[in-house]
Amino acid sequence: MTQMALQGPIPVGIDDIAFATGSYRIDLASIAPRLGADPAKYYKGLGQEQMSVVGADEDPVTMAAAAAKKIVDRAGVEDIRTVIFATETGIDQSKAAAVYVHELIGLPSNVRSVEMKQACYSATAALQFASAVVARNPEEKVLVVASDIARYDMNSAAEPTQGAGSVAMLVTANPRILALDVPSGVFTKDIMDFWRPNYRSQALVEGKLSISAYIDAVQGAYEDYRSRGGVDFTEIDRFCYHQPFTKMAYKAHRMISANLGIELTPEKEQHDLAPSTAYNRLIGNSYTASAYFGLLSLLDTVPNLTGERIAIASYGSGSVAELLTGVVVEGYEAQLRSEENAAVLESRTELDDETYCAMQQVTHEDQGEYSNVEAGANLGNGPFSWKGVEGGKRIYAAR
Ligand code: HMG
């Protein structure tokens, strides 16, 4: 249906969107024997087929810079006044990863750079904060980059829900892809469903609790959205949920529809959700970037979306959720990179289980003050590399 954005005096939203991911992938059928599982458990039970795996010299910064580079290569660096890096797998407890990205993609010094954290949710907060900056001064552009590597303990039930990826978005006035509605709904509840203490590289998780916490939080965010003047659930054309595994989006959509008394036929479910799950099914959980991979997947795989109202349902364990909506702008197709995006996913090098396990065991965090990552095996092939650590300082370079 053709809809009008519920906007302030000036439309604000997503003007460009691009992604990067790990240079490697593993098919979940390849890890199933080690975990004693039938591959159907992953393909059907979790709705996951593959996971992206980073090369030894790739990390959240190199992926973020690779995604952001596509945006500045097209739009230039002019008028970008802010970079917000959303992540829960940051590489430093003090310095913002945004500062490294700022340098790698060649932004001028008159830019503010900052990092944000709240599990998988913070990219949505970044999008809202970016929109506020632009609404205050419509001449300014904000670069939002969400980037994460999802790591759980090997051989745990959560291992098949790992993944890696980054999505960069340019937030501007008069956006050419998605004009964001002003109403949005938010929800916070202190809950220990997933967390990663400072001393660990892998997250800790209460898997079953996390599923019910996710659904309750998104439902709460929708109720708040409605109370703030957002449209009825039935007036939203498509849904892009946070996807720790794609079946999670279906679980949430089914439960919320049932709670609202909405009949969800298989055809309607296919229409509302399926196109937003294609990329995540191949990438795995990319934490902060996941809901926005959902948006990219929808934009790239369904034609003629102009005028449709899209919901982003964002959830970050711990927990915070937000439901926001936007309307697809006429002519948005000119801003997409659909063929290039499909080629990036296809070109990842496929791993066998043995090589993948060996790569997962290398955590460079353990290497202390000095390491030469670039000298190791299984390097990435993106435009930027993490060369290693010198005197405790991480070194990045264009490849
Ligand atoms: P598990 O123990 O593998 O779960 O853990 P399971 O045994 O219940 O199996 C999963 C599904 O596979 C079930 O389907 C089975 O029936 C089915 P369901 O009943 O749920 O619809 N199944 C099969 N289907 C077909 N053929 C078969 C077969 N066998 C079984 N042969 C769990 C799964 C997701 C809990 C685990 O992987 C995990 O802990 N993952 C990490 C946590 C997570 O992803 N939570 C999601 C919500 S929280 C969130 O999204 C936030 C997060 O992204 C972090 C952040 O915010 O930062 C995680």
When pLDDT is cut at 50, 70 and 90, the band that residue 8 belongs to is: confident
Atom of ligand 1 at shortest distance to CA of 206? 39
Taking a C-beta distance cutoff of 8 angstroms, is the pair 387, 397 a contact?
yes
Pocket of ligand 1 (CB under 6 A): 38, 40-41, 44-46, 88, 119-120, 157-158, 161, 194, 205, 207-208, 210-211, 214, 242, 244-245, 248, 285, 287, 315-317
Count of beta carbons in the 10 Å neighbourhood of residue 39: 17
Task: Classify residue 230 by its DSSP letter.
Answer: P
Q: Whose CA is nearest to atom 21 of ligand 1?
A: 45
- Written as one letter, the residue type at 6 is L
pLDDT for position 365? 60
pLDDT for position 366? 57
Angstrom distance (rounded) from CA 103 to CA 62: 11
For 322-339, the pLDDT digits (tens) are 999 999 999 999 999 999
Count of beta carbons in the 10 Å neighbourhood of residue 133: 18
Q: Whose CA is nearest to atom 9 of ligand 1?
A: 45
Reference 317, options 207, 391, 177, 170; nearest CA is 207
Tell me which residues are annotated as active site.
88, 120, 242
pLDDT for position 364? 57
Q: Whose CA is nearest to atom 17 of ligand 1?
A: 45
Going from the Cα of 46 to the center of ligand 1, the distance in angstroms, rounded, reads: 6
pLDDT for position 376? 82
Angstrom distance (rounded) from CA 150 to CA 165: 9
Q: For residue 102, count CB atoms less than 10 angstroms from its CB and return exposed for 0-12, middle for 13-18, buried for 19 or more.
A: buried
Going from the Cα of 249 to the center of ligand 1, the distance in angstroms, rounded, reads: 12
- 357 to 48, 171, 352, 380: CA distances (angstroms): 19, 38, 9, 16
Atom of ligand 1 at shortest distance to CA of 285? 53
Q: Which of 205, 248, 286, 319 to mutate to test the pocket of ligand 1 (most atoms within 8 A of CB)?
A: 205
When pLDDT is cut at 50, 70 and 90, the band that residue 369 belongs to is: confident
When pLDDT is cut at 50, 70 and 90, the band that residue 367 belongs to is: low
Q: How far is CA 102 from the centre of its chain?
A: 19
Across 4-18, 367-381, 383-397, least confident range? 367-381
341 Cβ neighbours under 8 A, 6+ residues apart: 19, 279, 296, 300
- As a whole number, mean pLDDT of residues 288-299 equals 98
Angstrom distance (rounded) from CA 298 to CA 293: 9
Atom of ligand 1 at shortest distance to CA of 319? 56
Q: Whose CA is nearest to atom 44 of ligand 1?
A: 244
Q: Ramachandran region of residue 76, left (φ > 0), alpha (ψ -120 to 50) or beta? A: left
Q: How far is CA 125 from the centre of its chain?
A: 12
Q: Whose CA is nearest to atom 3 of ligand 1?
A: 157
- pLDDT of residue 374 exceeding 90, the answer is no
Going from the Cα of 160 to the center of ligand 1, the distance in angstroms, rounded, reads: 9
Compute the mean pLDDT over every residue in the chain, rounded to the nearest whole number: 96
- Whole-number percent of the chain with pLDDT over 70: 98
Q: Ramachandran region of residue 225, left (φ > 0), alpha (ψ -120 to 50) or beta? A: alpha
pLDDT for position 363? 64
- pLDDT of residue 340 exceeding 70, the answer is yes
Q: Which of 28, 51, 161, 250 to mutate to test the pocket of ligand 1 (most atoms within 8 A of CB)?
A: 161
For 138-197, the pLDDT digits (tens) are 999 999 999 999 999 999 999 999 999 999 999 999 999 999 999 999 999 999 999 999
When pLDDT is cut at 50, 70 and 90, the band that residue 360 belongs to is: confident
When pLDDT is cut at 50, 70 and 90, the band that residue 318 belongs to is: very high
How many CA atoms lie less than 13 Å away from 308 in the CB half-sphere? 19
Q: Whose CA is nearest to atom 27 of ligand 1?
A: 41
pLDDT for position 143? 98
For 200-209, the pLDDT digits (tens) are 888 899 999 9
Reference 291, options 318, 324, 268; nearest CA is 324
Q: Which of 41, 42, 242, 317 to mutate to test the pocket of ligand 1 (most atoms within 8 A of CB)?
A: 41
Atom of ligand 1 at shortest distance to CA of 242? 50
Kindly give the interhelix angle for 246-259 and 266-273, rounded to the nearest 10 degrees.
120
Taking a C-beta distance cutoff of 8 angstroms, is the pair 5, 38 a contact?
no
Atom of ligand 1 at shortest distance to CA of 208? 35
- pLDDT of residue 25 exceeding 90, the answer is yes
